[in-house]
């Protein structure tokens, strides 16, 4: 089992009208090189949805991901979306996949779908490569920090309610899309940094990283590629800007 916990696939860009278009994958921090290294063959790529019933969004993002891989020269014979339309076949779909992509989106919605299709067991037995993006990466961890990012996410939860069990493949609490505090101070009208991340880091430690960085787990061996930040007791410490071991 090989896992990549990415902050972003970096597989698209917006045009002047704000419309997203697929672009080839870059090899920033050896991202593309590691994908090529661990894909066993190019028979089947599977895109696992976040919200399994939101077909319009699923189709749009899956097409961006699939086209990006094709533009990169990684051409799969079969391109499959796994959502509520074919969830009863999840086992055979994942078992036969060479590359499984876990979408970003909402934490709880995706965890419910993962539980419904028994994804943890399927990943444990998987012989290909699994790549998570954003929420897809967070949900691969033992503990998921489900803090609000939009006004609609704000509810009456207490501090400990923001932490919930994930699939358990990585034992640190991660925060994607992190470039110092800028993104989480101005994202969608919620100051996630000052209202949630910083205060809830007291007595805890978070591992944050930017959109060009990722974690590679290869049969228990953990490698870190890119820029990482340790957030603890309300303070940020940058770890490095190249391949590092964050446990040092």
Percent of the chain that is helix, strand, coil (3-state, to 5): 30, 30, 40
Q: What is the predicted pLDDT for the residue at 150?
A: 74
Q: Which residues contact 111 (CB under 8 A, 6 or more apart)?
A: 139, 144, 164, 166
Domains of the chain: 2-240 (3.40.50.880)
Decide the pairing of beta strands 221-225 and 214-218: antiparallel
> Per residue in 55-92, pLDDT tens?
999 999 999 999 999 999 999 999 999 999 999 999 99
Can you give the length of the chain in residues? 248
Tokens (6 digits) for 163: 């932490």
At 218, list the tokens: 């290869």
∠ CA 89-214-30, rounded to 5°: 105
Distance CA 68, CA 116 (A): 29
Is the distance from CB of 32 to CB of 246 less than 8 angstroms? no
Q: How far is residue 189's CA from residue 202's CA, in Å, rounded to a whole number?
A: 24
Of the candidates 46, 98, 44, the residue with the CA atom closest to the CA atom of residue 76:
44
Averaged pLDDT for residues 99-125: 96
State the Cα–Cα distance between residues 232 and 219, nearest whole angstrom: 28
CA distance 127 to 91: 13
Render pLDDT for 175-232 as a digit per residue (tens, 0 to 9). Answer: 999 988 877 876 667 888 999 999 999 999 999 999 999 999 998 899 999 999 999 9
């Amino acid at each position: 089992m090989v896992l990549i916990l990415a902050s972003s696939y970096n597989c698209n860009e917006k045009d002047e009208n704000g419309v997203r278009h697929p672009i080839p994958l870059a090899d920033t921090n050896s991202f593309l090189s590691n994908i090529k290294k661990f894909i066993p063959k190019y028979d089947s790529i599977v895109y696992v949805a976040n919200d399994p019933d939101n077909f319009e969004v699923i189709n749009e993002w899956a097409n961006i991901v699939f086209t990006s891989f094709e533009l990169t020269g990684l051409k799969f014979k079969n391109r499959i979306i796994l959502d509520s339309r074919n969830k009863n076949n999840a086992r055979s779909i994942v078992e036969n996949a060479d590359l499984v992509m876990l979408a970003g989106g909402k934490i709880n919605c995706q965890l419910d779908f993962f539980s419904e299709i028994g994804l943890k067991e399927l990943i444990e037995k998987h012989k290909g490569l699994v790549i998570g993006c954003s929420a897809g990466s967070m949900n691969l961890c033992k503990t998921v920090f489900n803090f609000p990012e939009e006004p609609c996410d704000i509810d009456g939860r207490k501090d400990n309610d923001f932490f919930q069990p994930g699939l358990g493949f990585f034992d640190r609490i991660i925060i994607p899309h992190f470039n110092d505090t800028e993104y989480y101070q101005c994202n969608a009208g919620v100051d996630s940094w000052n209202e949630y991340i910083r205060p809830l880091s007291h007595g805890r430690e978070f591992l944050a990283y930017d959109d060009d960085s990722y974690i590679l787990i290869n049969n228990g061996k953990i490698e870190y590629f890119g820029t990482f930040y340790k957030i603890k007791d309300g303070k940020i410490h940058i770890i490095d800007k190249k391949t590092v071991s964050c446990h040092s």
